[in-house]
Chains A and B, each alone.
Chain A
Amino acid sequence: MSEAESKDVGSEEPVRPGALDDVVRQREIGRRDFLKYTGGGILVFFLAGESWGARRELPTDFNAFLRVGEDGRVTCFTGKIEMGQGVMTSLPQMLADELDVPLESVDIVMGDTALCPWDMGTFGSMTTRVFGPALRKAGAEARAVLLELAAEQLKAPVDRLEAKDGAVFVKGHAENKVTYAQLTQGRRIERHLNGQAQIKEVSELKVMGKPTKRSDAEQKVTGKAQYTGDIRVPGMLYASILRPPAHGAQLKSVDTSAAEKIEGVQIVRDKDLVAVLHEKPDVAEKALKEVKAEFDTAEFPSDDKTVFQHLLECATPKGREVQSKGDVESAGKDAKIAVEKTYYNSYVAHAAMETHSALAHIENDAITVWASTQTPFRLQEELSQVLGLPEEKVHVITPFVGGGFGGKSRNLQAVEAARLAKLTQKPVQVVFSRAEEFFYDSFRPAAVVQIKSGLDESGKLVFWDYGVYFAGERGSALFYDAPNLHTTAYGEAKAGMEGHPFATGPWRAPANNTNTFARESHMDILAAEAGMDPVEFRLKNLADERMIRVLKAAAEKFGWTPARGPSGRGFGVACGIDSGTYVTTMAEVEVDKETGHVQVKRVAAAQDMGLVVNPEGAAMQMEGCVMMGLGYALTEEVHFKGGEVHDANFDTYKLPRFSWLPEIQTVLVENKDLAPQGGGEPAIITMGAVIANAVFDAAGVRLFQLPMTGERIKEALAKHA
């Protein structure tokens, strides 16, 4: 979320079109000079992450900064964005603690390329994990500057001073104080963080670790929160764009004469881009239906049934080695029990409730683009290339994003809006229809995992040979103890005609959902083969103390009692690691043997994510992961044939709904000595396997492919019988 100028993001007022004046002013300034316009006070510039900042000409050595303004308020400027994950609340919590100010005194300006320094994007659970520590250090640095200034003012050495509620006072003499506003008045002090600043000890934290309400909640329940599609500028047009029937199809001919007859319609054609524009979005959409077009379609070798075979054929024989230990080949001969299985995972859509949206407005020789994006700076670069404009003439603003999950790292809609704005010389908004959203989504890649494994007579792993095809390697490394171990990732997870017929990309905890489904299903099979309780079996093969603690915490919450599977109870367990966070999930399901329908009755998830910044936000993310994860476990699957995507809306593509809601319990396993780890993604990775394992425990059938639709379960039951 970002606002023109440095207005309080936390205030009730949404971004209004009236703020455009400020936007225009900002754009004229250009990014090269933006530091001059950051106002007075104390500014701390810092670099979050290893090497991202240095690639830019300007600014060169930082990618975020914070300001203690002349009014004593603290503002963080960051290229990160808010899409529901709650960092708009948790990042200010960090600053409130490090600077000893009330949370209400902290503002955050996000995802605005003119006001915020360069940032790679919001993904990978990195905001808290990577950006957070740097932000806290910057807060500590600003506090140190304030204490130095106060020492002068109060004529007392720094070690006799204390800061509280935005003021500094002499210890034991609360009346002898000076506020931050008084200290910063009329000054401009710039500091570049050199990594020396000392952040607070865990025991000193007052705001971090405390359950905190979302700062954006009130705007969102009143309808005032502005998303990209809600931005209005005078004279704007709405575009509906002609789409091909399939990926790879080429436009052969187009007839727009009928559409042109509709009053107020403007048609634009530029190479492959054919658009119908109107001052009312629904009229543009209607007029597009009058456009007649013919396409040449291309041949693609696979559909949703044959894609797995196709992927295996596409994979290069030599993969990327992730892990290697001992000798898998010869250990295989000594195993008492050997199990070899293959797992399949279908394409899954992001399906955020807000479709990709953008508004492009060209004035003079510069462009402002509002976009629902997880990557505003990457979009700025892309627009600069497409339009042939220098980057300082391209201003990207990110209002509230209505869900991303990785899908809004791709910005086609914004490029199209910008091209149309250039062609028409009018402000143009593009809001994808739901069908466009499915068609142009960068799906979570379909993938195959092959596992060969063996146990000794005591039930300990003796070898583990793991190959993942086309999902990616995140989450593929084995954390169970195996003396002989080989993990390899084959094929690219990215888009490419070689493997996937359409774009694929990161989807909440990319690769890890696939890898955890395969690994944890396989561990369950091994437990059953060894005649052991699945939890006991995992504990026997774990040396990692963190995972042992998390597994035990989940078992306690869930009330797990040992039994050999399938016990008929419908209990499942799965463990995983993502973004530095350890998770164990347990579930109880009921399987309707007539219909194959799975009802998940309850889920308990335990998570060690290091120091928890906002326990309320963390629980919310875990609950969301559990519920969203039921979708890819049970129903979500993109149906396609060649380049044609057969799912265009929520009638065939089935998301989790209220009637699916299990009882959800979450546990945050305390580990305050570890810095905060990822929170938005980890708890979703276990959902495929925990349900597959619970289905096995309930019905005695093992599903090797996600999603576990009623049809597939019925098929498995029939085979089993």
Chain B
Amino acid sequence: MADNVSFTLNGKPTTLNVDADRMLLWVLRTDFRLLGTKFGCGKGFCGACTVLVGNKAVRSCHLPVTQIAGKEVTTIEGLAKNGKLHPIQQAFVDHGALQCGFCTPGMILGAYSLLLENPRPARADIIKGMDGHLCRCAAHKRIVEAIETAAQAMQGGK
């Protein structure tokens, strides 16, 4: 069943005629060719497909596309503004908080949601907030450090 779904994607109003039961991940990757959002497990266990809906990090691999009607969706492509990296992206670069990079977009969006909710997280808050994100290269140490740095950098209110 095709429905018209309207939402805001990376700041731009969008309407899409789409089967209601399709998952947001595949709509982003196939229909919009926004390929930074990754498929990792398909069941919401790994976090590679994380996007923001409003300020909340969600697993796009099992979010039916109709559920984003009227909402704001941000993918990794929508984070850098005017060619300038977002402070979280910059912190990941500076800390070398990635290896193969496949989990990185989801990791960054997960961290963004965490910092929007809690701008001054303790290390324990970061660990708890990020625990649902898997990184097989095991860059966890640097990711935590990068999020701490990003929290500092974002204090000016971003």
**Do A and B come together as binding partners?**
yes
| Contact indicator A434/B77 (Cβ below 8 Å) | no
| Docked pose: A214 CA to B94 CA in angstroms | 9
Q: A354-B100, A434-B41, A624-B139 are in contact. Are A221 and B134 (CB under 8 A)?
A: no
| Contact indicator B135/A353 (Cβ below 8 Å) | yes
Nearest opposing residue in chain B for A86, CB measure: B99
| Docked pose: A86 CA to B141 CA in angstroms | 17
The reply to whether the CB of A570 lies closer than 8 angstroms to some CB of chain B is no
The reply to whether the CB of A159 lies closer than 8 angstroms to some CB of chain B is no
Chain A residues whose C-beta falls within 8 Å of the C-beta of B141 in the assembled complex: 623, 627, 661, 664
Q: A221-B93, A222-B89 are in contact. Are A655 and B136 (CB under 8 A)?
A: yes
- Interface size class of chain B, counting residues whose CB lies under 8 Å from the partner chain: 35 or more
The reply to whether the CB of A232 lies closer than 8 angstroms to some CB of chain B is yes
Chain B residues whose C-beta falls within 8 Å of the C-beta of A659 in the assembled complex: 127-128, 131
**Other contacts beyond A624-B137, A656-B140, A658-B140: 4, CB < 8 A:** A222-B76, A223-B75, A627-B140, A655-B134
What are the interface flags for B58-88 relative to A under an 8 Å C-beta threshold, 1 for contact and 0 otherwise? 0000000000000000011101100001000
Chain A residues whose C-beta falls within 8 Å of the C-beta of B31 in the assembled complex: 280
Nearest opposing residue in chain B for A221, CB measure: B89
| Docked pose: A355 CA to B100 CA in angstroms | 13
From A142-150, A178-186, A400-408, give the one contacting chain B.
A400-408
Q: A222-B80, A280-B26, A353-B46 are in contact. Are A628 and B102 (CB under 8 A)?
A: no
Chain B residues whose C-beta falls within 8 Å of the C-beta of A617 in the assembled complex: 96
Chain A residues whose C-beta falls within 8 Å of the C-beta of B128 in the assembled complex: 658-659
The reply to whether the CB of A427 lies closer than 8 angstroms to some CB of chain B is no
Q: A223-B75, A280-B30, A650-B41 are in contact. Are A402 and B102 (CB under 8 A)?
A: yes
| Contact indicator B104/A658 (Cβ below 8 Å) | no
Min CB distance A583 to B, Å, is 16
- Residues of A567-610 whose CB lies within 8 A of B: none
Chain A residues whose C-beta falls within 8 Å of the C-beta of B103 in the assembled complex: 353
Q: Is the interface of A mostly helix, strand, loop or mixed?
A: loop
Partner of A650, one of B23, B26, B45, B104: B45
Q: A223-B75, A226-B35, A401-B100 are in contact. Are A218 and B43 (CB under 8 A)?
A: no
| Contact indicator B144/A661 (Cβ below 8 Å) | yes
The 8 closest A-B pairs by CB, nearest first: A223-B36, A84-B100, A402-B102, A220-B101, A84-B99, A627-B138, A223-B76, A282-B26
Min CB distance B18 to A, Å, is 10
- Residues of A197-237 whose CB lies within 8 A of B: 213-214, 216-227, 229-230, 232
Enumerate 25 A-B pairs (CB-CB under 8 Å) in ascending A order: A213-B96, A220-B101, A221-B85, A222-B80, A229-B35, A230-B35, A280-B26, A353-B136, A354-B40, A401-B100, A403-B137, A434-B40, A434-B43, A616-B96, A620-B139, A624-B139, A625-B138, A626-B138, A650-B41, A650-B46, A650-B134, A658-B126, A658-B140, A658-B143, A660-B140
- Interface size class of chain A, counting residues whose CB lies under 8 Å from the partner chain: 35 or more
| Docked pose: A401 CA to B136 CA in angstroms | 13
| Docked pose: A620 CA to B96 CA in angstroms | 8
Q: A222-B36, A280-B30, A281-B26 are in contact. Are A217 and B45 (CB under 8 A)?
A: no
| Docked pose: A355 CA to B136 CA in angstroms | 12
- Residues of A646-685 whose CB lies within 8 A of B: 649-651, 655-661, 664
Min CB distance B65 to A, Å, is 10
The reply to whether the CB of A431 lies closer than 8 angstroms to some CB of chain B is yes
Chain A residues whose C-beta falls within 8 Å of the C-beta of B48 in the assembled complex: 353
| Contact indicator A224/B36 (Cβ below 8 Å) | yes
| Contact indicator B98/A221 (Cβ below 8 Å) | yes
What are the interface flags for B140-154 relative to A under an 8 Å C-beta threshold, 1 for contact and 0 otherwise? 111110000000000
